Amino acid sequence: MADIIDGRAIARQLDEKTKAQVDELVAAGHSAPGLTVILVGEDPASEVYVRRKIKACEKVGIRSTEHRLPADTSQEDLLALIDQLNKDEDVHGILCQVPLPDHIDTRLVLRSISPEKDVDGFHPVNVGRLSTGTGGIVPCTPLGVMMLLKSVIPDLTGKDVVVIGKSNIVGKPVANLLLDAEATVTVTHIYTEGLPEICRQADVIVAAAGAPELVKGHWVKDGAVIIDVGITRKEGEDGKTKLVGDVKFDEVQHAKAVTPVPGGVGPMTIACLLANTVQAARNLMGYGDAERGDDYADAPDRSMHTTA
């Protein structure tokens, strides 16, 4: 039987660490880290998500503020609010819940959030830093994926990892984090040919295709580790709906370890949001770690030797 990677337990451990960091900042005389969540309109799913995020903040001692704006809020007003929050020293993280109403340019809005307070890690500056392995805020789900994976394989050096899905939200940032960890990374997607064979060679499969039960048992080699990012509601034979991932869970019991759905990647996402908020606060308070690595300091012109 494959080991179950318990996302709920690992998320709880992360929350404890986050809470300890909050307590440390407060003990040092700082205000508690503050997260501001902006919700425009009344999308029911968004309301659920925002409520969960706010509630999770309380658990670890993060101050949360909610800005609920009517659906007809102008883009100008929303940008003005974000500008004000960017300047507010008591706000360390800003999260603008998507989707936004159609009359608002979502990309413009997300880019207007200061990269230092962008706890979702979606700002191009944070994406760029992730891509070059030079720090910045890492998006929550990819960060959670890496923590789960490292709980089973602490050193990923030289491991063959297949990432299924190349979304900007999960697939690509996970691939970048895996390369930083010195894994050999293959990114596959809807146009990939021979996906079963490619998966069968992998030490690790990160399934983030959003395709329910795509990965079958015979795609998985003995002893592989599987992180299942997918989550889809599906009607079972008994007529009841249940949540399934991108992996046919029952068929992969010859794997070394696998994340369940639910209870795997899901619980990590909010825990990582809280961790990101505290990281942002620490950086803004001057406790941040030095930026990692180099990016283009030595940009060589070597491929130009032949240009004459």
By annotation, the residues acting in catalysis are 53, 97, 120
Shortest Å distance, C-beta 303 to a second copy: 5
Site for a second copy in 234-253 (CB under 8 A): 243
Check binding of 106 to a second copy (CB under 8 A): yes
The Cα–Cα gap between 58 and 140 comes to 18
Q: Which of residues 54-73 bind a second copy (CB under 8 A)?
A: 56
Q: Is 290 an interacting residue with respect to a second copy (CB under 8 A)?
A: no
Instruction: Classify 265 in phi/psi space as left (phi over 0), alpha (psi -120 to 50) or beta.
Output: alpha
Report d(CA 241, CA 221) in Å as an integer: 30
Looking at the Cβ atoms of 110 and 220, the one nearer to a second copy is 110
Closest distance between a second copy and the C-beta of residue 50, in Å?
9
Q: How many CA atoms lie within 13 A of 282 on its CB side?
A: 19
Residue closest to 100 by CA, chosen among 88, 89, 108, 92: 108
Q: Is 261 in the site for a second copy (CB under 8 A)?
A: yes
User: Interface with a second copy by CB under 8 A: which range of 12-20, 72-80, 132-140, 282-290?
Assistant: 132-140
Q: Does 93 bind a second copy (CB under 8 A)?
A: no
Contact between 256 and a second copy by CB under 8 A: the answer reads no
Residue 267 binding a second copy, by CB under 8 A: yes
Q: Which residue from 132, 152, 212, 221 is in contact with a second copy, where contact means CB under 8 A?
A: 132
Q: How far is the CB of 91 from a second copy (least distance, A)?
A: 20
Q: In the complex with a second copy, which residue's Cβ is closer, 88 or 211?
A: 211
**DSSP readout, 62-82?**
-EEEEEEE-TT--HHHHHHHH
Q: Are 128 and 139 in contact (CB under 8 A)?
A: no
Stretch that binds a second copy, among 19-27, 70-78, 160-168, 249-257 (CB under 8 A): 160-168
Per CB under 8 A, the list member of 27, 28, 290, 297 interacting with a second copy is 297
Residues 200-219 binding a second copy (CB under 8 A) are: 210
Tell which one of 41, 101, 133, 217 touches a second copy (CB under 8 A). Answer: 133
Angle at CA of residue 106, ends 171 and 279, nearest 5°: 60
Q: Does 86 bind a second copy (CB under 8 A)?
A: no
Minimum distance from residue 205 beta carbon to a second copy (Å): 14
CB of 238 to a second copy, least distance (A): 20
CA atoms within 13 A on the CB side of 308: 3
Report residue 218 as tokens: 């015979």
Question: Which two tokens mark 169?
Answer: 């939200």
DSSP string, 226-290: EEE---EEEE-TTS-EEEE-SB-GGG-TTSSEE--SSSSHHHHHHHHHHHHHHHHHHHHTT-PPP
Site for a second copy in 180-199 (CB under 8 A): 182-189, 191-193, 198
16: contact with a second copy by CB under 8 A: no
Please tell me the distance from the alpha carbon of residue 281 to that of residue 284, in angstroms, as a whole number: 5
